[in-house]
Chains A and B, each alone.
Chain A
Amino acid sequence: MLEIRWHSRAGQGAVTGAKGLADVVANTGKFVQAFAFYGSAKRGAAMTAYNRVDDQPILNHEKFMRPDYVLVIDPGLTYTADITANEKESTKYIITTHLSKEELLNSQPKLQGKDVYVVDCMQISLDTIGRAIPNAPMLGALMKVSGMFELDYFQNAMKKVLAKFPQKIIDANMAAIERAYNEVK
């Protein structure tokens, strides 16, 4: 079973991102789960979302998770949220930041020695989508880091998930995914 934890602020699209990923993965015949921790706090509050992916039907309903991937889509959460909670030795971190990987590790020492990737999903989403919704670029980065799907395949699959949106928005998301895919380090 593959497990993913998203760190986000409410409104940044982590739940939509997690569900979009689940949609794409489900189309390959795998079993998926996408959920989130909700509190009463509104837009802007730190929150977490989760994915599970497996070849078997997913029976596990515990919220507790030892993630294979931790996706941080808001730059500030690297410093304020417990992003390393319940980590494994093999846990991979993909972190939204404008810093280089080195600068990031210096600014957040607890990430040192871990398998960390950086990508500026915030800037990418501003440039492509025009709004700070960093979920789509993070999925692009995840594809690159995990090798889960080829970029083409994933983009086509995401087009179907986004089918209800205007073409302009779909195109912007595709551009965001591609840029992050190429830029993640």
Chain B
Amino acid sequence: MAKDLKEVKSIDEIKDLGWNEIIPGASLFSFTEPVENVVEVPEEERPYAPTNSHEWQVGDWRVEKPVYNRDLCIDCQFCWVFCPDISILSRDKKMIGVIYEHCKGCGICVEVCPTNPKSLLMFPEHMDNNEALNMWPKKEEKK
């Protein structure tokens, strides 16, 4: 009998499965237990299966990372709605930060940010976020 992927606890465990342990048909599950109405459950409370890409990361794709400056943000949610990678964490209509595990560094959030100066800016991947915040530019004069 195939190992039930729902019982697999970690990503590493999946990698070691033999042909005899995988689910027939290569079906994958999103959660380890039933979630009655998923839209009512925020991601931090979901019983994600290790087979859910939420549990994986693509942060290493980035060359530059978006850094978020709370002091300037007006919580307009443009970054949230246009982020292709569900990497803008927003709760109760407030922008909280960037999910770096899932952010591929596309820079859309920075482009769509309407504040002046912007509340999100791209910085080199290796730079410390506090250092980046210290380097934040001043308000740009309208040309």
Whether A and B touch (Cβ < 8 Å) is answered with no
